Amino acid sequence: KKQLGLDDAAVAKTSTVADEILARLANPLGTNITTRGLVLGHVQSGKTTSFLSVAAKALDSHYDLVIILSGVHNSLRRQTQVRAARTLVHNPGLWWLGTALNDFRPDGNALSSHLAGNGKRGLLVVKKRSDILKKLADWLERESDSSLE
């Protein structure tokens, strides 16, 4: 909380709202999960804090993969990636595909190989650009349902 610059009341409210949002998501241990979300708000209204809180709680609640779609510009994606790394870096077993400087690029390994092992979780911060989203969709579609169980 000190890292985010929030007081105790703001942390409590953010946590409560994140719990309420998470309660609306599909059970991560179920089959055919297609849950999506959208965060809307004014500039400097706490959107990033909100979706990162939901992402942290989702990862803690056994969701294996969280994908955050960022702005379309390198600077916006980089800003989101850096903030996500700073906020979620303490989550054990968390892996990233992409860095503050580079967008999502498949690394030749299947998603299931990244998630292999107890407690492994993935977080991707991806620009909302058609070419990058196509790479991501193709990479995810290469996984069979059985390899994701």
The candidate with the shortest Cα–Cα distance to 22, out of 45, 56, 46, 49, is 56
C-alpha distances in Å from residue 126, one per residue of 97, 99, 100, 103, 104? 9, 10, 11, 7, 6
- Give the mean pLDDT of the chain: 80
Structure tokens at 19: 């719990």
In DSSP terms, 66 is beta-bridged to 123
How far apart CA 29 and CA 18 sit, in angstroms, is: 19
The candidate with the shortest Cα–Cα distance to 140, out of 38, 34, 61, 27, is 34
pTM, entire model:
0.79
- Condensed to tens digits (0 to 9), the pLDDT of residues 85-141 reads 888 766 667 777 677 777 777 777 778 787 777 777 888 888 889 998 998 888 888
C-alpha distances in Å from residue 134, one per residue of 125, 130, 140? 14, 6, 10
User: 3-class SS at 24?
Assistant: coil
What's residue 146's pLDDT? 42
Q: What integer is the mean pLDDT of 55-81?
A: 87
